[in-house]
Structure 1
């Protein structure tokens, strides 16, 4: 077996997925041939410091993971794309990068969403990914830096993914970045941060822009980058309270077709045919504009349209609903080349500082340090669907004793998927259609 196949098998066996997004299986990305592997270190969502802490404390592991990904894909070059403002991360990497061949640092401007794959490839390589395309269409593969960390541990150390680096921030008493076992309940993460510092709040899994609302009883998965306490009155709190039927009524009553949502859309500025203002008009008045509706499949759901709309509407959430309806009907947007990017793109990059102020989170936006503490979880709840793919099949039964790192679930036979491993030593306390609970002792 050649080296690339060994790497792919090791990463597949370890259950490595994209650590910062939808959780796409990493071994599938590694199976694509490319010219350049890009390490995504933009971390462009406000309040998140997970990747920054990882780079500062584990630069060698990330660089080795990038080197391994280059070996698997046949890439001749590796690029760590990080924001220029991350000075501590750059210093940490500069002290190590000289020992690794063909790896360079590319500094990004401080704008949102610099971490979007289409945007990042354009910034780093000056190449435009086709609409509905992926980075490999233009000779690139993009991995989150924590994914690269896990790739190194899988291939060099034989370690499966059982832990996750997580930012706990927002309106908490002691914000921190911490490494915890997968399956830890969010209530325990909040306890580590001293608990909420406000009475009325929502919990957001991920960033304030693209993250989803969760309950304290939910658990850490392989894609959990952050747990944020968003106070009442902040924009993410207000926007997530509105029901879809209300959003549709507001769109019909208030959308003035100013097209600011379109003019600020990062995908539109790249040259995509996505025009949110047309979608809003079509949905509001039931117009037969099937092209506009189908173009919603191009939306990355970054949420800038929501932030910039002068009428307080949410094209993002309406696009998201349309996408689900189209996908249920198996309607796809055909891959097609972008003619050219919009000439105004550079001047319309949205500054992160402005975004934080607009979100009403300025008081919570400060540097957060990594807490290198040992977490002895008494119980974990491991979800059988925590990545982009099919639900996993349990390999254990109730009352079985398991060790941390032991394989406990895998994809259905003959189907694409990833492996799931126990994150603590203990006994299987319960199995249902969606999770496996392991209790220590």
Structure 2
């Protein structure tokens, strides 16, 4: 099998964001390969843990990917404060004579955002509304490279590393089968210090809220990066769970058009015509969501506008998420003209230390380095669509016995999607938009 076929067969997707199928992304001929090892969200330690423990495998995969893509340069971008890690990378590159460069960034947010990392490493701005390939770059998350390494050795994606932190007895990085309920992950990781809490999956800035009750049914996906537990009445929860009606009323009453949301917007600062303060003004006035709101399509949903910049505690990010859905629903697509990078950009970095304090989550950072734990489970519910693209088609039926790593969801290599594999050995008990497997020891196994 070829390098690309192995990636497809193993069901590898991008592990740093929306889950773009890697075999589709790598079916191109970029000039540059950029590996993102900066871990954008505060409090997450997942990528750093994997880099510390699997840097040799990751570098081998980067070198192989560079050769396959025929890229002129392969650049691994990480944070300057990871000095020990950079030393390990540098020595391994030297020992193996790899053609890989290391680029280090300051500890600001959103260092690790795909387009911001591109600008930092290459001084190239991705065109507004565009993708990295438009500037001849393919980007992969560093954790994806470990999965690519495994894929070349016939090992499919069945487990996920994620950070469990916040209101927990001890923060942990866990390795857990894909399809495990969040409630079980929290329990087996030691549990929460609170009787009642809210869960953020992903991180404090861009994570999705999950209630304790929902955590019984919400499962770990290939793209899950973290579980952050916070009090039910934490400011993050109060801000992030407001209704659109409440936000519209607050916008009408409180938005002072200070433009801080725009001035700190990382997309605006690299020349994209995105002006959140103008969008908020229009949102407060109009109830029809048409072309006048098109700039919202450029929002990367980083949350700086509402969680750091806005002095009035209103929510441009939530509004932009809503508007993007409405615009796409109405079939509104726009082309945008990219302007010059704003000269004040480097003075608008958001320091992570200040962000932690602003979000009132500094105490979770001070808990220190997470310990490591491997979690086993007796039942998983593995979604057949857990990435950007078409869901896989089930290729097992109720009653089938499957081993860990068995293909349970398939689709052609040319389709925009990813194969799905069993994350535990056991009996298939349900097949719908997911495959449920209950652990079972096979007779004479």
| TM-score normalised over the length of structure 2 | 0.93
Structure 1 gaps, min length 5:
none
Q: Are the aligned partners of 2:180 and 2:381 in contact in 1 as well (CA < 8 Å)? A: yes
Matches within 5 A, 1:325-404: 325-334=326-335, 336=336, 338-366=338-366, 367-371=368-372, 373-404=373-404
**Corresponding residue number in structure 2 for 1:131:** 128
CA-CA distance at 1:344 after TM superposition: 0.8
- Compare 337-346 and 280-289 and name the one that shifted more: 280-289
Structure 2 gaps, min length 5:
441-445
**Corresponding residue number in structure 1 for 2:141:** 144
Q: Are the aligned partners of 1:410 and 1:417 in contact in 2 as well (CA < 8 Å)? A: no
1:64 paired residue among 60, 63, 82 = 60
CA-CA distance at 1:324 after TM superposition: 0.6
Cα distance in 2 for partners of 1:36, 1:412 equals 27
- 1:119 corresponds to 2:120: no
Cα distance in 2 for partners of 1:349, 1:294 equals 26
Matches within 5 A, 1:151-162: 151-155=148-152, 157-162=153-158
2:78 paired residue among 79, 82, 89 = 82
Matches within 5 A, 1:244-393: 244-286=244-286, 292-307=292-307, 308-334=309-335, 336=336, 338-366=338-366, 367-371=368-372, 373-393=373-393
Matches within 5 A, 1:41-56: 41-56=37-52
Cα distance in 1 for partners of 2:81, 2:233 equals 29
**Corresponding residue number in structure 2 for 1:30:** 26
1:204 paired residue among 200, 209, 213 = 200
Cα distance in 2 for partners of 1:82, 1:169 equals 22
Q: Are the aligned partners of 2:174 and 2:374 in contact in 1 as well (CA < 8 Å)? A: no
* 1:335-354 alpha-carbon deviations (Å, 9 max, x no partner): x5523101111101111111
* 1:288-339 alpha-carbon deviations (Å, 9 max, x no partner): 99554001100001000102111100010011101011112222232x5523
Report the 3-state secondary structure (helix = DSSP H, G, I; strand = E; otherwise coil) of the residue aligned with 1:341.
Answer: coil
Report the 3-state secondary structure (helix = DSSP H, G, I; strand = E; otherwise coil) of the residue aligned with 1:166.
Answer: strand
Cα distance in 1 for partners of 2:412, 2:330 equals 24
- 1:169 corresponds to 2:165: yes
C-alpha RMSD over aligned residues? 1.8
Distance 1:100 1:330, change over 3 A: farther
Q: Are the aligned partners of 1:392 and 1:412 in contact in 2 as well (CA < 8 Å)? A: no
Distance 1:352 1:381, change over 3 A: same
**Corresponding residue number in structure 1 for 2:103:** 106
**Corresponding residue number in structure 1 for 2:438:** 439
* 1:9-52 alpha-carbon deviations (Å, 9 max, x no partner): 11111111111100000111111211221111111211100000
- Which runs of structure 1 show a deviation greater than 6 angstroms over 4 or more consecutive aligned residues? none
Residue-pair matches, total = 433
Cα distance in 1 for partners of 2:185, 2:288 equals 48
- Compare 95-104 and 166-175 and name the one that shifted more: 95-104
Q: Are the aligned partners of 2:261 and 2:306 in contact in 1 as well (CA < 8 Å)? A: yes
